[in-house]
Copies of this chain bind each other. A is one copy, B any other.
Amino acid sequence: MKDKEIKLTELDVDKFIKEKVRGISSAVGKGCAINALSGGVDSSTVTMLGHKALGTRLKTYFINNGLMREDEPQRVVSLFKRLGVPVEIIDARRQFLGALKGVTDPEEKREAITQTFYKDVFGALVKKSGAQYLLQGTILTDVDETVAGIKRQHNVFEQLGIDPHKVFGYKILEPLVQLRKDGVRKVAHVLGLPESTYNRIPFPGPALSARVIGEATAERLDIVRRATVIVEEELAGTDAFQYMAILHQDRVTGMRDGKRDFGLQIEVRCWDSVDARVAKPTRLPYETLERLAERITGEVPGVVSVTYNITTKPPSTIEAV
């Protein structure tokens, strides 16, 4: 059953936090819970709620799946250390890249990541920890899009008729499932997370593998990771809802040093949106677009072409795959 949406105008943040902390406490009882922290606003908020409810009975992991942005594991762990929340890094790069080998279909990529995450990596951690509960940062937009068949979100189970207790061996708690992104940001702020987290642009569950069209190899992930650094540096000052670099599989003709260079294309997307349900491309100044193209073709090996997406959602989606 779908929980009732709490609209931003109705959201009493203090009351919401109190209720969710109480809810987690009473569900977990004297047991313990685990959660995976990616560093995005959703999982960071859930980590803080779980920490308030359970203290050391919440075990928080950062799964390094090899699909993260540059320097992400260290950044997240040191931020939460300052907040008094211990986070353990699990190096699972080998498992994820192995599961993604040869997979080009977007849905199969998502499925490979979901399976690796929940069954292989988390299955082992749950057994080790003895936890009966998994805290998870699913928000209402994830549920909506999965139910509508627009995109299979990696963190939506019950709505798909999957019983995670039966399939994965633990129960899932989703304290944010009545909120959309704007509500989560408010809760994160009140929970004491820094602005760099509560105003952080959304990042997809399958991480950089969703930013690679076609096979997500270590090499191709590295290319899109480098382009992502540039896009995030150049667009951090905008008020945009989300921005990203996408590596295409198509190759296009380019030239370097007067010679033909049949190379790679990076697509940049930058969205104006309130809650990701509808979105418009940000009207970035041409100076910014031109600097993006110059830096990406100059600094990321093999890239000869950069495009900017000019489509609204719908008919586009925010992410490409």
Residues of A within 8 A of B (CB): 106, 148-151, 213-214, 248-256, 258-263, 267-268, 280-281, 283, 286, 289-290, 292-294, 297, 304-317, 319-321
Contact = CB atoms under 8 A, between A and B. Distances in A.
A317 B259 CA distance: 11
Given A148-B259, A253-B319, A255-B317, 14 more contacts: A252-B317, A252-B320, A255-B315, A260-B317, A281-B293, A290-B310, A293-B312, A297-B311, A306-B310, A307-B308, A307-B309, A307-B310, A307-B311, A308-B308
Given A149-B260, A312-B293, A319-B253, A307 B304 contact: no
Contacts of A267: 307
Given A250-B250, A252-B321, A253-B317, A293 B311 contact: yes
**What 7 pairs between A and B have smallest CB-CB spacing?**
A307-B307, A289-B310, A293-B310, A150-B260, A283-B286, A252-B320, A293-B311
Contact of A255 (B106, B255, B297, B314): B314
Contacts of A281: 289-290, 293
A193 B286 CA distance: 36
Contacts of A286: 283
A305 B294 contact: no
Contact of A311 (B214, B251, B260, B306): B306
Nearest to A285: B283
A292 B308 CA distance: 13
Nearest to A247: B250
Nearest to A298: B315
A206 to B, nearest CB: 12
Contacts of A253: 106, 150-151, 317, 319-321
A150 B255 contact: yes
A254 B317 contact: yes
A80 to B, nearest CB: 32
Contacts of A248: 248, 250
A320 B312 CA distance: 24
Given A250-B248, A309-B307, A314 B283 contact: no
Contacts of A294: 312
A290 B309 CA distance: 10
A78 B309 CA distance: 39
A84 B91 CA distance: 76
